[in-house]
Protein backbone atom coordinates (compact mmCIF):
# COMPACT_ATOMS: atom_id res chain seq x y z
CA UNK A 1 0.00 0.00 0.00
CA UNK A 2 1.41 3.36 -1.08
CA UNK A 3 -0.43 6.46 0.14
CA UNK A 4 -0.94 9.47 -2.12
CA UNK A 5 0.96 12.50 -0.74
CA UNK A 6 -1.81 14.92 -1.80
CA UNK A 7 -5.15 13.27 -1.01
CA UNK A 8 -4.01 10.37 1.22
CA UNK A 9 -5.75 7.78 -0.93
CA UNK A 10 -4.45 4.23 -0.48
CA UNK A 11 -5.64 3.20 -3.94
CA UNK A 12 -2.52 4.33 -5.79
CA UNK A 13 -1.15 2.07 -8.49
CA UNK A 14 2.01 1.51 -10.50
CA UNK A 15 2.16 3.64 -13.67
CA UNK A 16 5.65 3.21 -15.17
CA UNK A 17 9.35 2.75 -14.43
CA UNK A 18 11.68 5.62 -15.38
CA UNK A 19 15.47 5.88 -15.66
CA UNK A 20 17.53 8.69 -14.15
CA UNK A 21 19.29 9.81 -17.34
CA UNK A 22 21.11 12.77 -15.77
CA UNK A 23 23.20 11.35 -12.94
CA UNK A 24 22.87 7.83 -11.58
CA UNK A 25 21.36 5.65 -14.30
CA UNK A 26 19.09 4.13 -11.65
CA UNK A 27 15.44 3.24 -12.26
CA UNK A 28 12.54 4.53 -10.16
CA UNK A 29 8.89 3.54 -10.12
CA UNK A 30 6.19 6.16 -10.63
CA UNK A 31 2.79 5.58 -9.05
CA UNK A 32 -0.51 7.23 -9.93
CA UNK A 33 -3.46 8.20 -7.75
CA UNK A 34 -6.85 7.67 -9.45
CA UNK A 35 -8.55 9.96 -6.93
CA UNK A 36 -6.64 13.25 -7.39
CA UNK A 37 -4.72 12.32 -10.57
CA UNK A 38 -1.26 12.91 -9.06
CA UNK A 39 1.73 10.84 -10.12
CA UNK A 40 4.67 10.56 -7.73
CA UNK A 41 8.08 8.91 -7.54
CA UNK A 42 7.88 5.90 -5.22
CA UNK A 43 10.77 5.43 -2.78
CA UNK A 44 12.41 8.72 -3.78
CA UNK A 45 15.53 9.59 -1.76
CA UNK A 46 14.81 11.60 1.41
CA UNK A 47 15.83 15.22 1.72
CA UNK A 48 19.03 14.28 3.58
CA UNK A 49 20.43 12.10 0.78
CA UNK A 50 18.93 13.41 -2.47
CA UNK A 51 21.68 16.00 -2.95
CA UNK A 52 23.95 13.64 -4.89
CA UNK A 53 21.33 13.31 -7.62
CA UNK A 54 21.76 17.01 -8.42
CA UNK A 55 25.54 16.79 -8.85
CA UNK A 56 25.85 17.05 -12.62
CA UNK A 57 27.15 19.74 -14.93
CA UNK A 58 24.24 18.84 -17.21
CA UNK A 59 21.77 20.09 -14.61
CA UNK A 60 21.19 23.44 -16.25
CA UNK A 61 19.35 25.30 -13.49
CA UNK A 62 22.40 24.91 -11.23
CA UNK A 63 25.30 24.97 -13.67
CA UNK A 64 24.06 27.40 -16.37
CA UNK A 65 25.82 25.09 -18.82
CA UNK A 66 25.73 25.59 -22.59
CA UNK A 67 27.03 22.07 -23.18
CA UNK A 68 25.15 20.29 -25.95
CA UNK A 69 22.63 21.53 -28.48
CA UNK A 70 19.62 21.28 -26.15
CA UNK A 71 21.17 23.49 -23.48
CA UNK A 72 22.44 25.93 -26.12
CA UNK A 73 18.92 26.33 -27.47
CA UNK A 74 17.66 26.82 -23.91
CA UNK A 75 19.86 29.90 -23.59
CA UNK A 76 18.68 31.28 -26.93
CA UNK A 77 15.06 31.49 -25.75
CA UNK A 78 15.73 32.31 -22.10
CA UNK A 79 15.65 36.09 -22.51
CA UNK A 80 12.21 35.87 -24.10
CA UNK A 81 10.89 33.64 -21.35
CA UNK A 82 12.28 35.99 -18.70
CA UNK A 83 10.40 38.88 -20.32
CA UNK A 84 7.22 36.81 -20.52
CA UNK A 85 7.40 35.88 -16.85
CA UNK A 86 8.06 39.46 -15.81
CA UNK A 87 5.10 40.69 -17.88
CA UNK A 88 2.84 38.00 -16.40
CA UNK A 89 3.84 38.92 -12.87
CA UNK A 90 3.26 42.64 -13.42
CA UNK A 91 -0.01 42.27 -15.31
CA UNK A 92 -1.47 39.75 -12.85
CA UNK A 93 -0.61 41.74 -9.74
CA UNK A 94 -1.42 45.06 -11.43
CA UNK A 95 1.80 46.47 -9.99
CA UNK A 96 4.76 48.08 -11.74
CA UNK A 97 6.79 47.83 -8.54
CA UNK A 98 6.70 45.54 -5.54
CA UNK A 99 8.53 42.99 -3.44
CA UNK A 100 9.12 39.63 -5.11
CA UNK A 101 10.60 36.32 -3.99
CA UNK A 102 11.90 33.73 -6.46
CA UNK A 103 12.17 30.30 -4.81
CA UNK A 104 14.63 27.90 -6.41
CA UNK A 105 16.30 30.79 -8.21
CA UNK A 106 19.04 28.67 -9.81
CA UNK A 107 21.77 30.97 -11.07
CA UNK A 108 19.70 34.10 -10.45
CA UNK A 109 18.71 35.20 -13.96
CA UNK A 110 15.06 35.95 -13.11
CA UNK A 111 15.93 37.75 -9.87
CA UNK A 112 18.36 39.95 -11.81
CA UNK A 113 15.76 40.58 -14.53
CA UNK A 114 13.06 41.62 -12.06
CA UNK A 115 15.46 43.96 -10.26
CA UNK A 116 16.33 45.54 -13.61
CA UNK A 117 12.64 46.07 -14.39
CA UNK A 118 11.34 47.99 -11.42
CA UNK A 119 10.80 45.37 -8.73
CA UNK A 120 12.72 44.60 -5.57
CA UNK A 121 13.45 40.91 -6.03
CA UNK A 122 15.05 38.40 -3.68
CA UNK A 123 15.94 34.80 -4.44
CA UNK A 124 16.37 31.55 -2.53
CA UNK A 125 18.60 28.81 -3.91
CA UNK A 126 19.62 25.73 -1.86
CA UNK A 127 22.62 24.80 -4.03
CA UNK A 128 25.81 26.58 -2.94
CA UNK A 129 27.48 26.30 -6.34
CA UNK A 130 24.45 27.80 -8.08
CA UNK A 131 24.50 30.73 -5.64
CA UNK A 132 28.17 31.29 -6.45
CA UNK A 133 27.40 31.30 -10.18
CA UNK A 134 24.55 33.77 -9.61
CA UNK A 135 27.00 36.16 -7.99
CA UNK A 136 29.62 35.62 -10.71
CA UNK A 137 27.41 35.69 -13.82
CA UNK A 138 24.45 37.87 -12.76
CA UNK A 139 25.90 39.94 -9.90
CA UNK A 140 23.02 38.64 -7.81
CA UNK A 141 23.34 37.49 -4.22
CA UNK A 142 20.91 34.68 -3.49
CA UNK A 143 19.85 33.41 -0.07
CA UNK A 144 20.28 29.84 1.19
CA UNK A 145 17.28 27.58 1.81
CA UNK A 146 17.31 28.38 5.53
CA UNK A 147 16.19 31.95 4.76
CA UNK A 148 12.76 30.63 3.83
CA UNK A 149 11.85 30.28 7.51
CA UNK A 150 13.07 33.77 8.49
CA UNK A 151 10.78 36.04 6.46
CA UNK A 152 8.15 38.03 8.32
CA UNK A 153 4.46 37.31 7.62
CA UNK A 154 2.73 39.11 4.73
CA UNK A 155 6.02 40.32 3.27
CA UNK A 156 5.87 39.64 -0.49
CA UNK A 157 3.58 40.92 -3.23
CA UNK A 158 4.52 38.03 -5.50
CA UNK A 159 6.28 34.69 -5.08
CA UNK A 160 7.43 32.56 -8.01
CA UNK A 161 8.41 28.90 -8.22
CA UNK A 162 9.55 28.09 -11.75
CA UNK A 163 9.73 24.28 -11.89
CA UNK A 164 10.43 24.02 -8.18
CA UNK A 165 7.38 22.54 -6.46
CA UNK A 166 8.00 19.10 -7.97
CA UNK A 167 11.28 19.02 -5.98
CA UNK A 168 9.78 19.86 -2.56
CA UNK A 169 9.53 16.96 -0.11
CA UNK A 170 6.88 18.37 2.25
CA UNK A 171 4.25 19.90 0.00
CA UNK A 172 1.65 21.13 2.46
CA UNK A 173 3.99 22.71 5.06
CA UNK A 174 5.85 24.40 2.20
CA UNK A 175 2.72 25.86 0.64
CA UNK A 176 1.41 26.95 4.03
CA UNK A 177 4.65 28.85 4.60
CA UNK A 178 4.32 30.53 1.19
CA UNK A 179 0.78 31.57 2.06
CA UNK A 180 2.05 32.99 5.36
CA UNK A 181 4.68 35.26 3.80
CA UNK A 182 2.46 36.37 0.90
CA UNK A 183 0.62 39.66 1.35
CA UNK A 184 -3.20 39.61 1.27
CA UNK A 185 -4.15 39.84 -2.39
CA UNK A 186 -0.64 38.80 -3.44
CA UNK A 187 -0.02 36.14 -6.05
CA UNK A 188 2.00 32.95 -6.21
CA UNK A 189 3.18 31.68 -9.60
CA UNK A 190 3.86 27.94 -9.74
CA UNK A 191 5.20 26.40 -12.96
CA UNK A 192 5.27 22.61 -13.22
CA UNK A 193 5.36 20.04 -16.06
CA UNK A 194 2.07 18.43 -17.08
CA UNK A 195 2.21 14.65 -17.59
CA UNK A 196 -1.14 14.66 -19.44
CA UNK A 197 0.34 16.57 -22.41
CA UNK A 198 0.91 15.02 -25.84
CA UNK A 199 4.71 14.85 -25.58
CA UNK A 200 4.47 13.01 -22.24
CA UNK A 201 2.16 10.42 -23.76
CA UNK A 202 4.37 10.05 -26.85
CA UNK A 203 7.67 9.55 -25.02
CA UNK A 204 6.31 7.55 -22.09
CA UNK A 205 9.09 6.54 -19.70
CA UNK A 206 11.59 8.57 -21.78
CA UNK A 207 9.71 11.85 -21.19
CA UNK A 208 12.43 14.15 -19.88
CA UNK A 209 10.16 16.05 -17.49
CA UNK A 210 9.76 12.99 -15.27
CA UNK A 211 13.40 13.66 -14.27
CA UNK A 212 13.48 11.06 -11.49
CA UNK A 213 14.35 11.09 -8.67
CA UNK A 214 14.74 14.89 -8.53
CA UNK A 215 11.08 15.30 -9.47
CA UNK A 216 9.21 13.82 -6.55
CA UNK A 217 5.78 14.63 -7.99
CA UNK A 218 4.37 14.65 -11.51
CA UNK A 219 1.38 16.96 -11.71
CA UNK A 220 -1.69 17.17 -13.89
CA UNK A 221 -4.06 20.16 -13.88
CA UNK A 222 -6.50 18.13 -11.77
CA UNK A 223 -3.91 17.25 -9.12
CA UNK A 224 -2.60 20.83 -8.96
CA UNK A 225 -6.09 22.19 -8.45
CA UNK A 226 -6.69 19.63 -5.70
CA UNK A 227 -3.40 20.56 -3.99
CA UNK A 228 -3.91 24.32 -4.17
CA UNK A 229 -7.42 24.14 -2.78
CA UNK A 230 -6.36 21.83 0.04
CA UNK A 231 -3.44 24.15 0.90
CA UNK A 232 -5.69 27.22 1.16
CA UNK A 233 -5.23 28.83 -2.24
CA UNK A 234 -7.67 29.94 -4.89
CA UNK A 235 -6.60 29.27 -8.46
CA UNK A 236 -6.92 32.43 -10.52
CA UNK A 237 -5.44 31.44 -13.86
CA UNK A 238 -3.56 28.75 -15.76
CA UNK A 239 -0.98 30.04 -18.23
CA UNK A 240 0.65 27.81 -20.89
CA UNK A 241 4.46 27.71 -21.22
CA UNK A 242 4.71 27.13 -24.96
CA UNK A 243 8.52 26.96 -25.16
CA UNK A 244 8.76 24.09 -22.71
CA UNK A 245 7.34 21.53 -25.13
CA UNK A 246 10.28 22.07 -27.51
CA UNK A 247 12.96 21.85 -24.81
CA UNK A 248 11.39 18.79 -23.17
CA UNK A 249 10.83 17.03 -26.51
CA UNK A 250 14.42 17.61 -27.62
CA UNK A 251 15.73 16.22 -24.37
CA UNK A 252 13.30 13.30 -24.56
CA UNK A 253 14.61 12.46 -28.05
CA UNK A 254 18.07 12.27 -26.54
CA UNK A 255 16.88 9.93 -23.79
CA UNK A 256 14.94 7.76 -26.22
CA UNK A 257 17.59 7.45 -28.92
CA UNK A 258 20.88 8.42 -27.37
CA UNK A 259 21.11 11.77 -29.18
CA UNK A 260 19.01 14.89 -29.57
CA UNK A 261 17.22 14.89 -32.93
CA UNK A 262 16.41 18.51 -33.72
CA UNK A 263 13.88 17.71 -36.40
CA UNK A 264 11.96 15.10 -34.40
CA UNK A 265 12.11 17.13 -31.20
CA UNK A 266 10.83 20.33 -32.79
CA UNK A 267 8.12 18.43 -34.64
CA UNK A 268 6.87 16.77 -31.46
CA UNK A 269 7.06 20.05 -29.53
CA UNK A 270 5.11 21.87 -32.22
CA UNK A 271 2.51 19.12 -32.46
CA UNK A 272 2.11 19.12 -28.69
CA UNK A 273 1.47 22.87 -28.74
CA UNK A 274 -1.01 22.59 -31.60
CA UNK A 275 -2.97 19.99 -29.67
CA UNK A 276 -2.91 22.23 -26.59
CA UNK A 277 -4.18 25.32 -28.39
CA UNK A 278 -7.75 24.07 -28.11
CA UNK A 279 -7.24 22.99 -24.51
CA UNK A 280 -4.47 24.74 -22.58
CA UNK A 281 -4.68 22.10 -19.86
CA UNK A 282 -2.83 19.85 -22.32
CA UNK A 283 0.19 22.15 -22.56
CA UNK A 284 3.56 20.57 -21.73
CA UNK A 285 4.06 22.92 -18.77
CA UNK A 286 1.63 25.25 -17.03
CA UNK A 287 1.90 28.22 -14.70
CA UNK A 288 -0.70 28.16 -11.94
CA UNK A 289 -1.44 31.66 -10.63
CA UNK A 290 -3.08 31.54 -7.21
CA UNK A 291 -4.07 33.73 -4.27
CA UNK A 292 -4.17 32.75 -0.61
CA UNK A 293 -7.63 32.40 0.88
CA UNK A 294 -8.18 34.00 4.27
CA UNK A 295 -10.01 32.14 7.04
CA UNK A 296 -12.89 34.58 6.63
CA UNK A 297 -13.39 33.82 2.93
pLDDT for residue 71? 57
d(CA 127, CA 142): 10
Q: pTM to 2 decimals?
A: 0.93
Query: What are the Cα distances from residue 106, in Å, to 162, 230, 289?
Result: 10, 28, 21
Q: Which of 188, 195, 225 is nearest to 209 (CA)?
A: 195
In the beta sheet, which residues pair with residue 17?
29
Q: Which of 161, 159, 153 is nearest to 181 (CA)?
A: 153
- Residue 56's Cβ-side half-sphere holds a number of Cα atoms within 13 Å equal to 15
Residue ranges in the chain modelled with pLDDT below 50: 60-63
d(CA 62, CA 51): 12
Question: Which domains are assigned to the chain?
Answer: 13-292 (3.40.50.150)
Query: What are the Cα distances from residue 54, in Å, to 9, 28, 60?
Result: 30, 16, 10
- Number of Cβ within a 10 Å radius of residue 189: 22
Asked, as a colleague might, if the bond just before 213 is cis with ω within 30 of 0, I would say: yes
Let me know if 228 is exposed, middle or buried by CB neighbors in 10 A (0-12, 13-18, 19+): buried
pLDDT for residue 80? 80
Amino acid sequence: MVTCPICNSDETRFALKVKDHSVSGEYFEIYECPRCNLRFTKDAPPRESIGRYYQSEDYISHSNTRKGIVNSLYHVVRNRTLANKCHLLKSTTGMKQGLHLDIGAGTGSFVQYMNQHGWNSEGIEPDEKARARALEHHQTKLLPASAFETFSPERFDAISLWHVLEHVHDLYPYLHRIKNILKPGGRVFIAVPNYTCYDAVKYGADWAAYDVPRHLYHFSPASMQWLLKAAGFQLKEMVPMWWDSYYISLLSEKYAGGHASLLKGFYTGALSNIKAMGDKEKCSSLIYVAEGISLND
